[in-house]
A = this chain, B = another copy of it.
């Protein structure tokens, strides 16, 4: 499996932790700081420590697990620890965790002393196939997601499939949704392969293909001005469903579960508006139906969901822009959808 070359850095898939040790040795860093959360400290840090032991001096900084920690208070805590540890400009941050750790750690590193080097060791499927590429760092403020952040590339990314072994099934499904999306927007053969694979513990080759696809898209459009919108497939409806669930459900949907709903709805819109063939719509609905639990959406939530779509930062002038599929493996950006169409797509999902 090839190392993937991204925007100025490499993404490793084989012997990744050995590669990390080499990277640290070559980098002549003054010191390394490993950022973990409560769970990765237990499930992932021991393995990393075995490798780092021979490399370098390092300190460990731990934050609480979960999206609730992805805020400026925790940034301040990490910055202060860096100060206390005497981290200088030649220090290295190693972010060991899911998207919360890699996003927050990337932001903290990109702003400490106006930027120190950082590398990502993503430990969830979602963070490997999605958060690891594209250079977005950030934290939430006032429960607005990723509102504070930078575009800063890591110095390298190290993928370790072993970390999936301790991931709860819902976390696997969450990352899987993005992988299925990659197939749907760019690569029908990859979609077919995913359909027939054992996805309870995705193989590193599948992760590799997903990263390759996301990497191609973001390299062409690093600051999200055009074709990066391809990656929004399923996210217009999906984000609204995710936020609504977060605000109303006692056990809210994961990001992947929500965009799985969104992809089915937007496949229906694709069928209506840009000629996605009927049988491909049926196939998409079937694949998601098998993998993901059915989420019930009552009719009377539609206005609230539509409101959320309108507030989405990706939309301007109140118009709602969707990325749709003209066929499996082919996307089409900037399709304006009406409230009626969007509600009908939710109705379609509900009647499946």
Contact = CB atoms under 8 A, between A and B. Distances in A.
A72 B76 contact: yes
Interface in A98-139: 107, 110-115, 136-138
Interface of A: 72, 76, 79-80, 83, 88-89, 107, 110-115, 136-138, 141-142, 144, 146-151, 313, 316
A208 to B, nearest CB: 27
A150 B88 contact: no
Contacts of A89: 313
Contacts of A313: 88-89, 113
A114 B136 contact: yes
B148 A112 contact: yes
A218 to B, nearest CB: 13
A137 B114 CA distance: 8
A89 B83 CA distance: 32
A110 B150 contact: yes
A141 B73 CA distance: 13
Contacts of A148: 79, 111-112
A146 B71 CA distance: 20
A91 to B, nearest CB: 12
Contacts of A138: 114
A142 B82 CA distance: 12
B112 A151 contact: no
Nearest to A149: B114
Contacts of A141: 76, 79-80, 83
Contacts of A114: 136-138, 146, 149-151
A141 to B, nearest CB: 6
A201 to B, nearest CB: 33
Contact of A149 (B72, B107, B111, B136): B111
B83 A115 contact: no
Given A72-B76, A83-B142, A313-B89, A115 B147 contact: no
Shortest beta-carbon contacts, A-B, top 5: A114-B149, A111-B148, A114-B151, A114-B150, A111-B150
21 contacts: A76-B141, A79-B141, A79-B148, A80-B141, A83-B141, A83-B142, A83-B144, A83-B147, A110-B150, A111-B111, A111-B148, A111-B149, A111-B150, A112-B147, A113-B313, A114-B136, A114-B137, A114-B138, A114-B150, A115-B151, A150-B150
A211 to B, nearest CB: 21
A115 B80 CA distance: 24
A240 to B, nearest CB: 18
A80 B148 CA distance: 10
Contact of A150 (B115, B136, B146, B316): B115
A319 to B, nearest CB: 14
